Structure 1
């Protein structure tokens, strides 16, 4: 888990991370988002909105961790949604996520369509 949070921090410092509802939605629509994280303690409405949007645009989605953990990992206050905009970072994080029990939901691009 610490490795994932370090990778999120690296992605932010490299300018390869989008945060905030509208910015992440824009990244998904423009196909810039390669991997989206939504905090497990986000509202049900927020989870549904991002689950639907990611499914529509074929972007892998992770629902897990909490808003404080996501915020701390990127050096910001609480964050509910993050989008990784670099394929290399996204692949590295997805490989590490496969064995994590803290992750409630992972949907790969193209599933459920």
Structure 2
């Protein structure tokens, strides 16, 4: 399994109530400034990837394209998930640091200047 630390940290964030899942819920979290990191499954549709890449860029939210929908769902104890927002900055930083060390990440943008806050 690739990046088990990122997946286990996602599970901890879920148990702590620091995740939002689902297209509309994540979109609202991004727009309200609640999302600290958005993760899109690598097997999501191109439209979904583009939609969230654009929204995250507009609102300055780091975005990672990682894993697949089954791995994301399993990590948080739910059915398959295509999109997840981490709503806690510490969890977001931990997960982003684990993801940036692994090759399955297609895109992670941390140029928002929010690191270390």
Please give the TM-score of this superposition, normalised by the length of structure 1: 0.94
Structure 1 residue runs of 4 or more that deviate by more than 4 Å after TM superposition: none
More strand by share: 1
SS at match of 2:38: strand
- CA displacement, residues 31-76 of structure 1 (integer Å, 9 cap, x when unaligned): 0000000001000000000000000000000011100000000000
Partner of 1:24: 26
Matches within 5 A, 1:1-113: 1-110=3-112
Cα root mean square deviation, aligned: 1.2
SS in 1 for 2:94: helix
CA contact (8 A) 1:55 1:109 kept: no
8 Å Cα contact 1:4-1:93 kept in structure 2: yes
Structure 2: gaps of 5 or more residues: none
Q: After the TM superposition, which of the residue ranges 13-22 and 96-105 deviates more from structure 2? A: 96-105
**Secondary structure in 1 matching 2:65:** strand
**Corresponding pairs, count:** 111
